Structure 1
Amino acid sequence: MLRRLLIENYLLVRRIELEFADGLTVLTGETGAGKSMLLGALDVLLGERFPRNPVPEHAERSVIEGEFDLPELPLNVKTLLGESAKGRQLFLRREITRQGRSRSWLNDHPLPQEALQTLREALVDFHGQREHQSLFKPACQLDYVDVYAGTRIIAQNVAVLFASRLEKKRELEKTKAAWTAHQKDRALLEYQLEEIERLGLKAGEEDALEARLTKLESAEKLALEASRLLGLLSEADPSLVAQSGQAKVIAGGISKTDRDLSPVAEELSSISSRLKDIAEQVRHYIDGLSFYDAELVRLRERRSILWELRRRHGLAV
């Protein structure tokens, strides 16, 4: 039951403190005496919305306190409030600031709004045109039946067992979800393992592959440069071979008239023949390098596969 009610700086009330004895207490007075204001303050203490601008101009905050003496709290209230609900005495306090913010405490422990609403239903029953009476709530009706039948302890034990059952059910659902996730992870790992085994990976393969690619890519560069050389020698327009041949013909024609140029004609003939031999040697060199092309393509594809494997699975081969 309510033992004490303190109201400070709330609407027209500067300070009032009421203490209640066992049994029935009746507040009487003419209309406008403030009876509804006291009940409204008690309602606000228990979580009801407070009126606009409840803090008087001379104060910084409104304070409402209530002290309750209960032989026993309902199990759901005990579970919700935890440590702050221990003992027979419940000391409830709510402060409202001038900025319109409010905070509540139960036995000096901060109390959230949803917990305050649950506590309200256990502490006070407001009867009026706009309030719901606990007598019409099915949960309260069951409490009354249990009290009348003397089975409240049994009901509390059943509630404990039911709460335990719900907890076990949640644990079971959690275990099922974990098992499902485990199965999915296992299937993924099996797929990844099969993929890795299908690739036929070997220890040290990546290092060996990079070394071989370095060598082949160097050979590729040599082949490109050799192709440029061959182009200059025999495939360009005009090429060195063609120009040397033309020079040889011109020098040969001159030497038929003037024998003094015969040595030059002979030298040009030798140079032209030598350039042809050099061009043929370069062509053979390029042909010797061409067998690397297919291997280079294959190794590059293999390296791309290994890089993708590293990216997806964090593996180093």
Structure 2
Amino acid sequence: MLRELRIRNLAVIEEIAVPLAPGFNVLTGETGAGKSILVDALLLIIGARAQPELIRSGEESAVVEALFEVETSGPVAALLDEAGHRLADGQLVVKRELSRSGRHRVFVNDSAATVGLLERLGDLLVELHGQHEHQRLVEPARQLELLDRFAECLTQREQVGALVRRWEEARASLARLREELAESARQEDLYRFQLAEIDAVRLREGEEEELRADRSRLQHAERILRGLQEVMALLHEDDHSAAARLSRAVALLQSVSRLDAMALAPVEGLEAALVHVEDVVTGVRALRDRAVADPDRLAELESRLDAIAKLKRKYGETEAAILGYREDIAAALARIGSQDLLLAERERDVQAL
């Protein structure tokens, strides 16, 4: 049932809202008052052709909006559900926007819609009677509706309509699945190649940073070795090294202690410092021993980094991104392997309907 009609900038009407009560409503007025414009507005609501000439002079756009109350389980609700529109609280708002640029728009409950949907809704929502109304009796859809009403089988018609919609949805779903299956078959070889390429590198997260550190160490092996050798000389290997000086200081204090027992007090601290220096020397010696130029190992690192860089250019900017993509294509291949079973299941669903 039509409850309200709102118009803005249509023909001679600047803006108006026409509330309608249940039952019989009568609109009267003098010639030129705008009664026909209300009919034109209603025709726009049910899908009539939108013409820029209908827009009020001096304006760039016009808006027509209608509020309907409909049953939440009736044919209108079923049509809206089929078209992907939601019916809230039994209220349906249809809106047409006309523009002089020709870019007209249609909305159903604030969602974009098509004029074709308005035409289908109009057949269910509005009946316009005029001097040629009897001509609608030759329309097959009208004849079928009258026959269904006469046979008192409107409920069965809705049931059959629901089954047909389910069947059409199942067929559409089956068609989409077949398209996806065909596309997946085209992608399968590519996915398998990509998966093999990534797996061949045996990439692990955080590896590139470690490789770069090792490469830097090998590239600067001589400089590192010189620095470590100098450190070893300062701490241990030179006659005037820290270890030698600490040992000499301990020996002198022990000698002096024979004359003054208080001289032994600093010895314990010096011996602890000497132990600490020796621990450091052990660590530095290990670093010096591995600071050796190794061209073969350096070439191996360069090759490994090049392989990772190649994967990054193709599959992601980080190891995590590459490994994530690898999981995605592995999952896609698994789905491809199971699509035949899914296709057979969908075909059975269609046949069951």
TM value normalised by structure 1? 0.48
Q: Choose between structure 1 and 2 for higher RCO, CA contacts under 8 A separated by at least 6 residues.
A: 2
Instruction: Report the structure number with the largest CA radius of gyration.
Output: 1
TM value normalised by structure 2? 0.44
